[in-house]
């Protein structure tokens, strides 16, 4: 490829991603090209300008000029005096300065403070609870966004409203891990709640991630809706809050109960209530006792 074509390609990159001017704070996405303009520099050689960089890649100020060699694959001065970073990384955060002298002898300085960012994937709630018990601490789940920079913040929501940890009914345990090679962050936020007795039976929980950079809307997990049960009674299974028994219905299958000799008739006693009522079956004046199961149905004999 001819030299002119190469320069044209770099200039196309700059036009796509934008060239910034003046004294500014710059945010750039990790892995994307970044162009910084040297204000006051002649657009064509010969040029009197100098770039100085103080970043995570340098121990002191690194000096670049149009006459010098490119800095490996990190940065190079373009023919128009701008500085190009082909793929900006975390180590490129820092200060960039350019001093240019016009052909009339006027000196102009440009200063930039560069920060980089990476938006993580959509956060997820891992190991979610299947149900909650009223009056005792319960783990709802752990919210995890992976691969972000800077770390950002996590918030839990209950029925769309932000939960504030109080150390009593609501507590959050957070952990931040950083990848040793990429430098990207993974956050873990574990939510513990103690549902109030007599409170909502179907609370909905979700988690949101707010990036540290740039300013943008928070990323939300898919919501999870959980069932709250009351405290255990008598050592038996968890029970929902009391639901009074309003009616008892006997269902006969097949309808009408008429079957040929040797056939099967199924009797079902439906009594929706909480705690589950006890069912007593009587056949020929002999009582049998059974407890309704989760669907509140008691099945009778099959003669």
Residue 225, pLDDT > 50, answer yes
Q: Which CATH code fits 124-229?
A: 2.60.40.10
pLDDT reading at 301 higher than 70? no
Residues 202-220 have pLDDT tens digits of: 999 999 999 988 778 899 9
For residues 136-154, give the mean pLDDT: 96
Position 120 scores a pLDDT of: 93
Q: Specify the pLDDT at position 281.
A: 76
Pick from 23, 181, 3, 9: which is nearest to 86 by CA? 9
Q: What are 73-101's pLDDT values in tens digits? A: 899 999 889 999 999 999 999 999 999 99
Q: Are domains 24-117 and 124-229 of this chain identical in fold?
A: yes
Q: Which CATH superfamily is domain 24-117 in?
A: Immunoglobulins (2.60.40.10)
pLDDT of residue 35 exceeding 50, the answer is yes
How high is the mean pLDDT of the chain? 81
The tokens for 254 are: 């097949």
- pLDDT bin (cut points 50, 70, 90) of residue 257 is low
pLDDT reported for residue 263: 76
| Mode of pairing for the β-strands spanning 286-291 and 297-299 | unpaired
Structural domain boundaries in the chain: 24-117, 124-229
Token reading at 281: 């079956």
């Amino acid at each position: 490829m001819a030299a002119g074509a190469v320069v044209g390609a770099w200039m196309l990159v700059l036009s796509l991603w934008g060239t910034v001017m003046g004294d500014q704070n710059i945010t750039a996405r990790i892995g994307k090209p970044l162009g910084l303009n040297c204000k006051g520099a002649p657009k064509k050689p010969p040029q009197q300008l100098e770039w100085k960089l103080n970043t995570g890649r340098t121990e002191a100020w690194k000096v670049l000029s149009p006459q010098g060699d490119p800095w490996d694959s990190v940065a190079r001065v373009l023919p128009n005096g701008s500085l190009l970073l082909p793929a900006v990384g975390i180590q490129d955060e820092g200060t960039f300065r350019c001093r240019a002298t016009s052909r009339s002898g006027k000196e102009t300085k440009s200063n930039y403070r560069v920060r980089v960012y990476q938006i993580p994937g959509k956060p997820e709630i891992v190991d979610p609870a299947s149900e909650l018990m009223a009056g005792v601490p319960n783990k709802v789940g752990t919210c995890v966004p992976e691969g972000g920079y800077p770390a950002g913040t996590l918030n839990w929501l209950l029925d769309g409203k932000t939960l504030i940890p109080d150390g009593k009914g609501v507590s959050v345990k957070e952990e931040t891990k950083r990848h040793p090679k990429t430098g990207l962050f993974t956050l873990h936020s574990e939510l513990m709640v103690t549902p109030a007795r007599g409170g909502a039976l179907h609370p909905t929980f979700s988690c949101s991630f707010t990036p540290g950079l740039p300013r943008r809307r928070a990323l939300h997990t898919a919501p999870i809706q959980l069932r709250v049960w009351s405290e255990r009674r008598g050592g038996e299974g968890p029970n929902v809050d009391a639901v009074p028994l309003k009616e008892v219905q006997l269902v006969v299958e097949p309808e009408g109960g008429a079957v040929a000799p040797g056939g099967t008739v199924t009797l079902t006693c439906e009594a929706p209530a909480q705690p589950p009522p006890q069912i007593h079956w009587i056949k020929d004046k002999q009582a049998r006792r059974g407890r309704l199961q989760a669907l509140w149905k008691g099945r009778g004999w099959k003669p």
